[in-house]
Amino acid sequence: MNSDCTVLAFGEIMMRLSPKNNLRIEQAGEFDVRYGGAEANTAVSLAYQGDSAAYVSVVPANRLGDCALRSIEQWGVDTSRVVRDGERLGAYVFEPGASQRGNGCVYDRKYSAVSLASRGTFDWPSILDGIDVFYFSGVTPAVSGELALACHDALSCARAMGITTVCDLNYRGKLWTPEHAQRTMQELLPLVDICIANDEDAPSGLGMTCVTGSLAHGIEERDSYVEMARQICAEYGCKTMASVIRNVQCVERSQWMGVLYDAASDTHWFSPTHDVHVLEGVGAGDAFNAGFMHALLHGFDPQRTIDYAIAASILKLTIRGDQNLVTPEEIEKVTASNGGSRVER
């Protein structure tokens, strides 16, 4: 890959509503409004780092759709491939947690424009023209059966066109069952070059048993993540595998590290462990993915790649909203300091 490559992200963008002042949904009299979605978040993060990022979806041709697209266009994401159709923009309510009360999420995305789209909505040879990397997450095929077929069409077309394919398994239990996820992802992964997975993704999304999915002791079990990567690459033919590994004490406090695995050499690299005070735990996986792809685009060596990706991820934990608005220079400072910080004067 090189820094002139264009990454295309495929998924759903939604309106995000959050109670103000850390209130619970039942207490809220007003909501903070933002926009986001797994793939859109990744595209924004890439664009903010100076990379060429494009986005494709189906978004209604109304004012809410306009707002959603402006929220990513303002950071440099190319939305010219987005199909404007349908009547409804999906939404979700994010309730920030505290201490032992976890973050909450209530989806309101049924009958959204993209969920009603057919696989034939997307002319992939045209959409993928000029694209070097195609990216999607497991959220997209979980939205509907037609989108799962569209993902397969996109991956097949990308493979025929010599385009690198990247998938974050990103299992979401509120969207589908483990059985449904496993059937679908096992059909898609053989068309994926680079796979990203963490915690519950491999157990729930692929039915793997070599990792426990523990959020409490992930770092102590880090060698099992290497075995997870080895098995995924061997079974599905992926060339590279990356993962976030976490120990989570409570909403505000956790430790994060990453692992990168190369199938050809059967070699892995761990990042340092970062002790993190979390401001908001949304979009850190998307930030990891963008950091990882940025590193690949710019030819970083494997150790620097995983160090950079995890640094991008933990910086997202310090930012409210879905989007990781940090520069390569800010990420590199975290990488160089192993998580330390100082006042910029």
Give tens-digit pLDDT for 122-133: 999 999 999 999
pLDDT tens-digit series, residues 68-104? 999 999 999 999 999 999 999 999 998 888 888 888 8
> 216 near 233, Cβ under 8 Å?
no
Residue 226 token pair? 């290497």
Count Cβ atoms within 10 A of the Cβ of residue 149 and give its class: 0-12 exposed, 13-18 middle, 19 or more buried. middle
Q: For residue 249, what pLDDT is reported?
A: 87
Compute the radius of gyration of the chain from its Cα atoms.
19
Annotated catalytic residue within 78, 193, 286, 307: 286
Domains and CATH numbers, the chain: 6-337 (3.40.1190.20)
Other CB atoms within a 10 A radius of the CB of residue 153 amount to: 15
Reported as a pLDDT band with limits 50, 70 and 90, residue 338 is: low
Pairing of strands 267-270, 253-262: antiparallel
Half-sphere exposure of 67 (CA within 13 A, CB side): 14
Angle between helices 328-337 and 302-316 (to 10 degrees): 110
pTM of the model: 0.94
pLDDT band at 286 (very low <50, low <70, confident <90, very high): very high
Active site residue 286: yes
What is the rounded (10 degree) CA torsion for 143, 146, 152, 153? Answer: -130
Query: How would residue 159 be classed by pLDDT, with cut points 50, 70 and 90?
Result: very high
